[in-house]
Structure 1
Amino acid sequence: MSIMAPAAEKNVTGLVAATFTPFTPEGELNLSEIGPYIDYLTEKQGVNSIFVNGTTGESMSLSVPERKILVEEWCQKAKGKMDQVIVHVGCMSLKDSQELARHAGQIGADGIAVISPSFFKPSTANALRMFLQEVASVAPTLPFYYYHIPAVTGVNVTARDVVEGIEKLIPSFRGVKFSGSDLMDFGQCISYSRPCWSILYGIDEQLLAALALGAHGAVGSTYNYVGCHINRLLSDFEKGDLIQARKIQFKLQELLLFATKLGFDLGVNKQLMNEVSGLNLGPPRLPVMPCPPDHALSIAQKYYSIFSEC
């Protein structure tokens, strides 16, 4: 394993693709797809930052050794091509999270993110902050992000309460990946944020609302295959052209509403990425079920009817 010096720290802005983990048909890691995957994101979608081993990457279905192997490959292949590689290191076990955090620092990741444990759940914001502090402490030079996704973790502590005073506990704290629908909580995180923080929104179909509240960027799974269109949404918003920005947001909503009626989940989302990108990322890992072929075809056809080539 090569040791890479960390890149110069900079705020995360724009789109960040939450990457899928490539598997073989037998369910093993398929590292050979990572290089072409990065090229696809940068060349076809105009997406130059990635969030790896997160929810979209099926991190909780991966072993610690698998997560290390993946991160090494992502960082190596992204070097010189990607602006940011943020690594999710959250686990149910504090020790596993610390092991992954140390490893991310050793191989030159640009930042780490941590989700709340969801089996033994922290009951207060303070308990969650203490967990995050313990993880961050083993990789003190890496920018650290709290990954807020209450619908998955079942931890009903507002992100605003979590970040209250967190910069004193975690000097490396640099922001939040906010994958929740509570826009008031999101707005309060923006209001409290420091100049060196990036508050990134993670509900793709509501991005425009988050931008109005001051989102610094966005992390999402759909940016793997609609990134070029959402980049135009960002540009339109920055120019003050809300009519065009809304049109693009509504298109993504139309696609996701159609997919949801067919049972849009991680397996379906991953297969849609396979269909659109031409990559071979394989099936999801059990207990997530593969996408029925007819569903994948229907959603892909809907995608092409809504979105033109970039």
Structure 2
Amino acid sequence: LIFPCLMTGVVAATFTPLTPEGEINLSVIGPYIDYLIEKQNVKSIFVNGTTGESVSLSLAERKALAEDWCHKAKGKMDQVIVHVGCMCLRDSQELACHAAQIGADGIAVISPSFFKPSTADDIKAFLREVASAAPTLPFYYYHLPAMTGVNVPVRDVLNDIEELVPSFRGIKFSGCDLMDFGQCVSKSRPHWAVVYGVDEQLLAGLAMGANGAVGSQSRDLSTGLKCSYFLVLVRT
């Protein structure tokens, strides 16, 4: 069965704590979680993403981080979404399988950015292969064209996506093309999350119909973001 929670509301994209020597510093994660809950009123996190500099980390480091986040957030956080995207498909699958084993609440994947997919079908084929490694976890496509250089409209990726990826549960849209984003909202299904990831355009994204926000500013400006989020919901 697919876990029913969706990546909605305000979700904090977490940093990866490092020692001065450049080693991952797991001792910071517990206090970090407490800070997000107690000071920022955040109960959902997106780990090992762009803010967490995942592409600069080894697989072993990413696994250790994901495991520690999930372990220390259990019973405190509502959701831990783990980003598993890599340049290598097999690595992405390995991280997806690991996320399922450690109790993550969902996984997200960004498209490869060196040998880039050039069509929506290419992206969907990649997503299908990654999702198949953790078929019981809610699966999200992470769209970040400024970093990946992949500018395939997400609205095209959504066409018949659940036929290929039954665990598909939405998108983290971190692009500035609000026209594409609005069409994604129009194509969205009730059991999908369509969350916006460009902090500077968040109000516009909410006005277009986003049902959540994932960003680096969520860890510091959560109260203001939540006020904006609910005001837009009330007025629309």
Q: What TM-score comes out, normalization by structure 1 length?
A: 0.74
- Map of 1:160 onto structure 2: 155
The answer to whether residue 160 in structure 2 is matched with residue 169 in structure 1 is no
1:224 equivalent to 2:184? Answer no
Q: How much has 1:235 moved relative to structure 2?
A: 2.6
Distance in 1 of aligned mates of 2:89 and 2:129: 8
CA separation in 2, counterparts of 1:44 and 1:236? 21
Contact 1:94 1:131 survives alignment (8 Å):
yes
Matched letter for residue 54 of structure 1 = G
Amino acid at match of 1:122: P
Bigger helix fraction: 1
Residue equivalent to 2:91: 96
**Residue in structure 1 matching 2:21, options 12, 22, 26:** 26
Deviations 1:253-285 (A, max 9, x none): xxxxxxxxxxxxxxxxxxxxxxxxxxxxxxxxx
Q: Quick one: distance in 2 between partners of 1:158 and 1:48?
A: 31
Gaps of 5+ in 1: 1-5, 243-310
Alpha-carbon separation, structure 1, partners of 2:184 and 2:16: 30
Q: Is 1:190 aligned with 2:185?
A: yes
Residue 37 of structure 2 is aligned to residue 39 of structure 1: no
Contact kept? 1:102, 1:138, Cα under 8 Å: yes
Counterparts of 2:106 and 2:17, CA distance in 1: 22
Question: Counterparts in 2 of 1:8-27, with a 5 A limit?
Answer: 8-27=3-22
Deviations 1:89-117 (A, max 9, x none): 00000000000000000011000000000
1:87 and 2:64 correspond:
no
**How do 1:101-116 and structure 2 match up within 5 A?**
101-116=96-111
Instruction: Provide the residue aligned with 2:176 in structure 1.
Output: 181
Larger mean CA deviation between 70-79 and 203-212 belongs to 203-212
Alignment of 1:1-310 (within 5 A): 8-240=3-235
> Is this contact kept in 2: 1:46–1:231, CA < 8 A?
no
Instruction: Give the partner amino acid of 1:104.
Output: A
Q: Which amino acid is 1:237 matched to?
A: V
Output one character per residue of 1:52-93: Cα deviation in whole Å (capped at 9) or x when no partner.
000000000000010000000000010011111000000000
Distance in 2, matches of 1:128 and 1:207, equals: 25
- Deviation of residue 164 (structure 1)? 1.1
Question: Alpha-carbon deviation of 1:34?
Answer: 0.3
Task: After TM superposition, give the deviation of residue 163 of structure 1 in Å.
Answer: 1.2
Segments of 5+ residues of structure 2 without an aligned counterpart are none
Count, aligned residues: 236
C-alpha RMSD over aligned residues: 1.3
For residues 187 and 173 of structure 2, the distance between their equivalents in structure 1, rounded to whole angstroms, comes to: 14
Structure 2 counterpart of 1:50, one-letter code: I
Note if contact 2:171-2:193 (Cα within 8 Å) is conserved in structure 1.
yes
Counterpart of 1:185, as a letter, is D
**Contact conserved, 1:19 with 1:221, CA < 8 A, in 2?**
yes
Q: Deviation per CA, 1:131-156, whole angstroms, max 9, x where unpaired?
A: 11000011100000000000100011
| Contact 2:3–2:137 (CA under 8 A) maintained in structure 1 | no
Q: CA deviation at 1:233?
A: 1.4
| Partner SS for 2:61 | helix
Q: Distance in 2 between matches of 1:15 and 1:159?
A: 22
Find the aligned partners of 1:194 and 1:236 in 2 and give their Cα distance.
Answer: 23
Q: In the TM superposition, what is the alpha-carbon distance from 1:162 to its structure 2 partner?
A: 1.1
After TM superposition, the runs of 4+ consecutive aligned structure 1 residues lying more than 3 A away are none
